[in-house]
């Protein structure tokens, strides 16, 4: 008598499409000597800033998300020239975000859907993302990104200088465990509600060793055992529609970190709730933060800015040829001229403060 078993696994899975392994992708797009030097040197600089051995402020600046690598590289070349100009007081890292967390639905980013047509060629997106990171690092410009998918660092981690954990994932155990093994400093954003406690707990958790399921360079499921990441820090992005970069909010964040026995290392995100999601407010936020540093604040070590070639943002059109060049398809950004002014003004103010 034939036995009949009801299907119990993968009921809602349509297919498993094979990805190249991290090792295969590294072989196809190996890190260059120049890119390796860029990443190695930039990570050391960032650690020195967080340890207070380098007095500069680091700036993670760039598009909300990368969707057009041609425009992205155009932006990177401009930023590299500006980074060299302000290098005395500011350490510039290009914001290169490929993965976009979504509250409900929407375009999930360049890795997930590189063709922006719901074909979801993640295999193609991952390769294109690695290629883009190589090009930017080959310019001598370090990159920062959001660590969203726990598998992505095996594919791209050797090309990243700074990682962020977003407001929606700071409370996630998966992301805290992943952060404990990342090779870069990691900025944990406060929650979308403005809550600081979850970021403090995330920094503490990521500083400890963890063991969890992941993948190795051969793409096999593995038990990942980490040593802990000593360079976790807090990113203030506002919350519940209100800013949290004012002097009182900064003091409260310092107090929360001190109470937990953590270094008072704070990064202010000039975008999101801190600018009420209005890009034209970002220069005001940055100016306020620089004023606090000039007045003697010791805890603000970095800032984040959402910037692109063109100001604002645009919806993704059905005909992708209609996309406006150098304009965000996710959060609205300040344009390049505003970016130059923001960073030159900040660098000048900090230079005057040191009597240079």
Averaged pLDDT for residues 10-30: 97
Residue 1 within a domain:
no
- The model's confidence at residue 352, banded by pLDDT at 50, 70 and 90, is confident
- Report the pLDDT averaged over residues 211-217: 97
Q: Classify residue 345: in a domain, yes or no.
A: yes
* pLDDT for 2 beyond 80: no
Q: What is the pLDDT of residue 189?
A: 98
Tally of domains in the chain = 1
pLDDT reading at 187 higher than 80 = yes
Q: Give the chain's end-to-end CA distance (angstroms, integer).
A: 90
- The mean of the pLDDT values for the chain is 96
Structure confidence at residue 6 (pLDDT): 84
C-alpha closest to that of 267 among 232, 230, 294: 232
Instruction: Check residue 87 and give its pLDDT.
Output: 98
Structure tokens at 140: 């001598």
pLDDT band at 4 (very low <50, low <70, confident <90, very high): confident
In a domain, 12, yes or no: no
Query: Tens digit of pLDDT for each residue in 239-290?
Result: 999 999 999 999 999 999 999 999 999 999 999 999 999 999 999 999 999 9
pLDDT value at residue 99: 83
Is residue 210 assigned to a domain? yes
Does residue 15 sit within a domain? no
Q: What is the pLDDT of residue 1?
A: 61
Residue 340 domain-assigned? Answer: yes
Please give, one letter per residue, the 3-state secondary structure of 220-260.
Answer: CEEEEECCCCCCEEEEECCECCECCCCHHHHHHHHHHHHHC
**CATH number, position 177:** 3.20.20.70
Position 8 pLDDT exceeds 80 = yes
Q: Judge contact between 162 and 113, C-beta under 8 A.
A: no
pLDDT for 312 beyond 70? yes
What pLDDT was estimated at residue 101? 66
Residue 204 forms part of a structural domain: yes
Mean pLDDT of 8-31: 96
- Residues 330-347: what's their mean pLDDT? 97
Q: How far apart are CA 57 and CA 126, in angstroms?
A: 31
Run of H or E residues at 164? strand 162-165
Q: Are 64 and 331 in contact (CB under 8 A)?
A: yes
* Confidence band of 208 (pLDDT split at 50, 70, 90): very high
- Rounded Cα distance between 105 and 332, Å, is 18
Residues contacting residue 12 through CB under 8 Å, at least 6 positions apart: none
Q: What is the pLDDT of residue 104?
A: 53
pLDDT band at 100 (very low <50, low <70, confident <90, very high): confident
| pTM, two decimal places | 0.96
With CA atoms as reference, report the closest residue to 80 among 137, 144, 134. 137
Average pLDDT over residues 302-310: 98
Kindly tell me if the per-residue pLDDT of 143 is higher than 60. Answer: yes
Give the confidence band of 125 by pLDDT, cuts at 50, 70, 90: very high
31 part of a folded domain: yes
Report the pLDDT value the prediction gives residue 5, as an integer from 0 to 100: 79
Q: Are 66 and 144 in contact (CB under 8 A)?
A: no
For 74, the domain range is 22-50+59-311+318-353
Percent of the chain with pLDDT strictly greater than 90: 93
- Rounded CA-CA distance 238/204 in Å is 21
């Amino acid at each position: 008598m034939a036995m009949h078993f009801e299907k119990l696994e993968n009921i809602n899975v349509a297919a498993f499409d094979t990805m190249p392994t991290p090792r295969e992708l590294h072989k196809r797009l190996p890190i260059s000597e120049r890119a390796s030097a860029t990443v190695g040197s930039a990570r050391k600089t960032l650690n020195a800033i967080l340890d207070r051995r380098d007095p500069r402020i680091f700036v993670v600046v760039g598009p909300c998300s990368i969707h057009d690598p041609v425009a992205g590289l155009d932006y990177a070349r401009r930023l590299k020239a500006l980074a060299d100009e302000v290098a005395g007081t500011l350490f510039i890292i290009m914001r290169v975000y490929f993965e976009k967390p979504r509250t409900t639905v929407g375009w999930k980013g360049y890795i997930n859907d590189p063709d922006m047509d719901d074909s979801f060629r993640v295999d193609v997106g991952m390769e294109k993302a690695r290629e883009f990171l190589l090009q930017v690092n080959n310019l001598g410009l370090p990159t920062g990104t959001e660590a969203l998918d726990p598998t992505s660092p095996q594919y791209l981690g050797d090309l990243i200088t700074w990682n962020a954990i977003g407001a929606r994932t700071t409370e996630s155990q998966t992301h805290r465990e992943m952060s404990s093994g990342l090779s870069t400093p990691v900025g944990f954003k406060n929650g979308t509600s403005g809550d600081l406690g979850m970021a403090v707990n995330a920094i503490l958790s990521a500083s400890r060793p963890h063991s969890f399921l992941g993948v190795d360079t051969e793409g096999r499921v593995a038990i990942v055992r980490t040593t802990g990441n000593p360079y976790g820090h807090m990113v203030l992005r506002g919350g519940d529609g209100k800013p949290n970069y004012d002097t009182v909010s900064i003091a409260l964040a310092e107090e929360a970190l001190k109470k937990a026995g953590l270094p008072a290392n704070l990064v202010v995100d000039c975008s999101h709730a801190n600018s009420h999601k209005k890009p034209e407010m970002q220069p005001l936020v940055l100016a306020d933060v620089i004023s606090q540093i000039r007045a003697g604040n010791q805890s603000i070590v970095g800032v984040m800015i959402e910037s692109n070639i063109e100001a604002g943002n645009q919806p993704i059109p059905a005909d992708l040829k209609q996309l406006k060049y150098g304009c965000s398809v996710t959060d609205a950004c300040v344009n390049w001229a505003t970016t130059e002014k923001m960073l030159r003004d900040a660098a000048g103010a900090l230079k005057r403060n040191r009597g240079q």
